[in-house]
Amino acid sequence: MDMTPEKLIELAKDAMTRSYSPYSGFQVGAALLCADGTVYQGCNIENAAFSPTNCAERTAIFKAVSEGRRNFSAIAICGGKGGVITDFCPPCGVCRQVMGEFCGPDFPVYLAGPNNTWQVKTLAELLPFSFSSENI
């Protein structure tokens, strides 16, 4: 696999440019690397009624699952007001839970920061003591 964190982050930044966020002005992009090497990009898609808004991460994951992918290797996320990255953009709780449906505890979540910085967190770090199919 020739994908690197830096390349995946670039794809997240590219997806961020397609954010539909007229209400918050906060643009988010995600790039989801599948086990077979394909990448699904996602952006946040807001709505006038607010609650139908879909986060960038879930856009990418739902695109991938709807196209038959369920095995994921990593995700990169970036976000910022007006598309300017001034800080890391950690995934919301709902997106963490959706990642937990398909990804294991070691799943790496790459977070892009300002000035081409990035950090990585595992899903277990982001979503400890989580509810899963094993609880049902």
- Would you tell me which residues interact with ligand THU (CB under 6 A)? 21, 24, 26, 28, 44, 46, 53, 55-57, 91-92, 95
Q: Catalytic one among 57, 67, 125, 134?
A: 57
6 catalytic, yes or no? no
Residue with token string 């390349």: 7
Q: Which is nearer to ligand THU, 23 or 37 (CB)?
A: 23
Tell me how far, at minimum, the Cβ of 40 lies from ligand THU, in Å.
15
User: In angstroms, rounded to a whole number, what is the distance separating the alpha carbons of residues 97 and 79?
Assistant: 19
Q: Which is nearer to ligand THU, 55 or 74 (CB)?
A: 55
Tell me how far, at minimum, the Cβ of 1 lies from ligand THU, in Å.
25
Q: Which is nearer to ligand THU, 11 or 56 (CB)?
A: 56
Order across the sheet with 118-122: list the strands. 39-43, 26-34, 72-81, 108-112, 118-122
The candidate with the shortest Cα–Cα distance to 74, out of 99, 93, 98, is 99
The candidate with the shortest Cα–Cα distance to 12, out of 59, 81, 77, 63, is 77
Q: Which residues are catalytic?
A: 57
